[in-house]
Amino acid sequence: MLVQDDLLAPDVVADPYTYFGRLREEDPVHWNHRWGGWLVTRYEDVVTVLRDHERFSSDRMASLVLELTPADRDRLSLLINYFSKWLVFTDPPYHTRVRMLINKAFTPTSVERLRPRVRQIVDELLSAVAARRQMEFIHDFAFHLPVIVISEYMGVPPEDREQVKEWSDETSRIFFIRADEPDRRERSQKGLQHLLEYFEPLIYDRRRHPKDDLITALVQAEERGDLLSHEELLATCTVLIFAGHETTTNLLANGLVALTEHRDQWERLQQDPSLIRPAVEELLRYDGPVKATFRWVKTDTELGGKELRAGDRMLAVLAAANRDPRKFAEPDDLDIGRVPNPHVAFGHGIHICLGAPLARLEAQEAFLALSQRFPQIRLADRPREYHRTIVARALKELWVEW
C-alpha cells in the first residue's frame, strides 16, 4: 500500500482524521517504517491493546534507557528515576499499588465537590474578556482554567502558578516530539528538577501541617497500611501538575472549534443545557486532545493478522478508533446527543486517565458558560495551526469573536 509515512507531515498534523482513517480502512495494524513502530487504528484493536497490559507494556523508560548511551543514562539519571515512577509509564504491580492509593482523590464523587469553584473560575475568566468582543481563546481562557483548578486542588499558592506552569511545560518537551528540538531531553530534565525542588518543601510542610488539599491527601493516602514513599510522592506531584495542564486546554480549544463549526449543535446546546454531559463526551470523541498513546510489545504476538515482535513499539491511535464506523454510526458527524458514546479519548483499561472526571467537569462548566454568555461566538478569520507533535492535538492559537 502506498501511504506516506511521515506522521509529522503538515497535512497529517492539520487533519489526522483523513490519514489515520485511511490506515484504519486499508491497513489497520500498520508498520510505519519512518517512525519505526506499529500504528493501530481500529476501535476493537485499540481496545484490545489498551486492555491487555500483559502483552502491551506502558514502560516507556525501559525502552528509552535501551536507546541511550551509558553517558546519556548518567546525564539523564534524574529524569529516568522519576519518570519511571510516573503512573502513565508503569505496569502492574507498581502501577496498581500507586493508582489505588491516589484514585480516591480523582473519582467522579470527589471532583464533583469542586464544581461550584470551577463554575466561579470560569465566570471570572469570561467576565474579564466579555467587553473585548474577541479573545485568543487558548491564552485568555483555556490555558488558565486547568492551571488554576489543578493548582488550587493540589495546594499550589496562586503566586507560584505561572512559574510551576513554565517548569511543567519544560518537562513536557520529552513527550511532545518536535523535530526541531535536539536538546529536549536535557530541557525536560531541567524542568523536572525545578518541579521536584518546588514540591519537596510543600510535602514536608503538609506532613507537619495538614491542609484540605491534594498534597496532604497524598501524604496521608493509605490503603491497607501502604503508603507512598517520598520519591513516589514527588513523582506523583509532578505527574499530576503536568497532566492537569495541557490536555484539558486542548480539549477546550478543540471542542470550541467543533461546536462553532457545527452551528446547529451549538444552538442545540444553548437551547438544552441538560445535554452538556453527552456533549462533552462527543467533543472528546470527535476531536479529543490526545491523538494516540504509546505501548511496547512485551512478547511476540499477533494482532490483526500481523506478527508483532517483543520490543516493537506501537501507537494506539485513539483519534482513528473514535471515528471507526464499525463502532460509531455516522462517526464523522458531531452529535452532542450521542448516547451511548464509548469513546477512547481518555484511553482504556488500567491506564484510563486518572484526571478524566476533573477534565469532564471543567469542560462541562466551560461550554455551559460559553454557550449561555457568548451565544454569538464565532471563529475569527485567521488560519489555524497545530503544533507538530505525534501525540497531542494542540492548536497554537485560537482567535474568536462575538
Residues lying near another protein in the complex (CB under 8 A) are found at 51-52, 96, 99-100, 103-104, 106-109, 112, 340-342, 344, 346-350, 352-354, 356-357
Q: Closest approach of Cβ 339 to another protein, in Å?
A: 8
Element (H, E) at 244: none
Q: Minimal CA–CA distance to 29: which of 358, 295, 315, 371?
A: 315
* Closer to another protein by Cβ: residue 22 or 51: 51
* Closer to another protein by Cβ: residue 304 or 349: 349
Secondary structure of residue 37 in the 3-state scheme = strand
Q: Minimal CA–CA distance to 231: which of 84, 74, 54?
A: 84
Distance CA 118, CA 258 (A): 22
Distance CA 111, CA 244 (A): 13
Question: Phi-psi region for residue 224, left (φ > 0), alpha (ψ -120 to 50) or beta?
Answer: left
Q: Closest approach of Cβ 394 to another protein, in Å?
A: 24
CA 374, 376, 382, 386 dihedral sign is positive
* Closer to another protein by Cβ: residue 108 or 157: 108
Burial label for 373, CB within 10 Å (0-12, 13-18, 19+), is middle
Residue with cell 493540589: 154
* Closer to another protein by Cβ: residue 100 or 310: 100
* Closer to another protein by Cβ: residue 52 or 136: 52
Q: Closest approach of Cβ 125 to another protein, in Å?
A: 24
Burial label for 119, CB within 10 Å (0-12, 13-18, 19+), is middle
Q: Closest approach of Cβ 392 to another protein, in Å?
A: 21
Whole-angstrom CA distances from 171 to 44, 52, 186, 239 are 33, 29, 9, 10
Q: Closest approach of Cβ 371 to another protein, in Å?
A: 19
* Closer to another protein by Cβ: residue 140 or 281: 281
Q: Closest approach of Cβ 52 to another protein, in Å?
A: 7
Per-residue cell: 154:
493540589
Peptide bond into 340 cis (omega under 30): yes
Burial label for 222, CB within 10 Å (0-12, 13-18, 19+), is exposed
* Closer to another protein by Cβ: residue 56 or 199: 56
Q: Closest approach of Cβ 49 to another protein, in Å?
A: 12
Q: Closest approach of Cβ 325 to another protein, in Å?
A: 17
Q: Closest approach of Cβ 352 to another protein, in Å?
A: 5
Q: Closest approach of Cβ 224 to another protein, in Å?
A: 11
Q: Closest approach of Cβ 104 to another protein, in Å?
A: 7
Distance CA 228, CA 226 (A): 7
* Closer to another protein by Cβ: residue 59 or 281: 281
* Closer to another protein by Cβ: residue 7 or 336: 336
* Closer to another protein by Cβ: residue 348 or 388: 348
Q: Which residues contact 285 (CB under 8 A, 6 or more apart)?
A: 322, 328, 338, 341, 343, 345
* Closer to another protein by Cβ: residue 206 or 327: 327
Residues of 279-306 as b/e, b for ≥16 C-beta within 10 angstroms? bbbbbbbbbbbbbbbbbbbbeeeebbee
